[in-house]
Amino acid sequence: MKTIAIIPARGGSKRLPQKNIKLLGEIPLLAHSILYAKENNEIIDEVYVSTNDDDIKKIALEFGAKVISRPESISGDLEPTVSALKNVLEQITDTVENVVLLQATNPLRPHDLLKEAFEIYQKEKCNSLFTVSRNHQKFGKIVNQKFIPFNYEIGQRSQDLEPLFFENGLLYITKAALIMENIIIAENAFPFKIDSIFADVDIDTQEDFDYAEYLYPKLIKP
């Protein structure tokens, strides 16, 4: 049974118009995730892009992905990502065992990330895996104009914080059967820890894109 990669990339972004086709380096943002999937062809059998946008479709085909047209009914701002993944699985005839979700808005990934994550996924017999990174910031709430620390005590050093982690969006691996149940991250999903500057890149605004452009040379540096 196959392992496929799915890259959701709808059109109509409001905060950063046409972000999925903006050039990062010399290629469109979307293309980075397509090429990453194709570089891992010992794991990934097929690469699919789910989109409702004609320009995105052209770019996906140009860089060697297959395209699944996403209905407008599941292309809205509030529609969960799992809807696009499920729609792809419903449109193809191949028997798929595993789905690798690569988000176009997280274009910078360490080269060996998928290989290392997939080895753990198989070794641990996971039904889902997702990447996380450790938080090193001091968080708190403001209640009645008073700051209330959440994950530390006033005066505590950052290096002494209790370890907390965030879902960084770089990579998800999930059994196709789970996706058909509208699940990407199961309750017992394996949290694959990664310490990388690329974990902070998630492009929604021009400032996010500028930061990705700043970091991009560090990814391609020999």
- Each domain of the chain, given as residue ranges in start order, spans 2-133+166-220
pLDDT in tens, 93-123: 989 999 999 999 999 999 999 999 999 999 9
Single-letter amino acid, residue 115: K
Going by pLDDT thresholds of 50, 70 and 90, the confidence category of residue 76 is: confident
34 CB-side CA count, 13 A? 24
Give me the helices (H) in 53-194, please.
54-62, 81-91, 113-123, 176-179
Could you read off the pLDDT of 151-172 as tens digits, one per residue? 888 888 888 888 899 999 999 9
pLDDT of 77 reads: 83
> How far apart (Å, rounded) are the C-alpha atoms in residues 159 and 162?
9
Characterize 91-112 residue by residue with b for buried, 16 or more Cβ atoms within 10 angstroms of its Cβ, and e for exposed.
Answer: eeeeebebbbbbbbbbbbbbee
Beta bridge partners of 148: 141
Please give the share of the chain, as a percent, with pLDDT higher than 70: 99
Average pLDDT over residues 113-141: 95
- 222 pLDDT tier (thresholds 50, 70, 90): very low
Distance from C-alpha of 150 to C-alpha of 213, rounded to nearest angstrom: 33
User: What is the number of other CB atoms lying within 10 angstroms of the CB of residue 215?
Assistant: 15
pLDDT score of 220 more than 80: no
Tell me which CATH code domain 2-133+166-220 carries.
3.90.550.10
Q: Of residues 15 and 209, which shows the higher confidence score?
A: 209
Taking residues 8-32, report their average pLDDT: 93
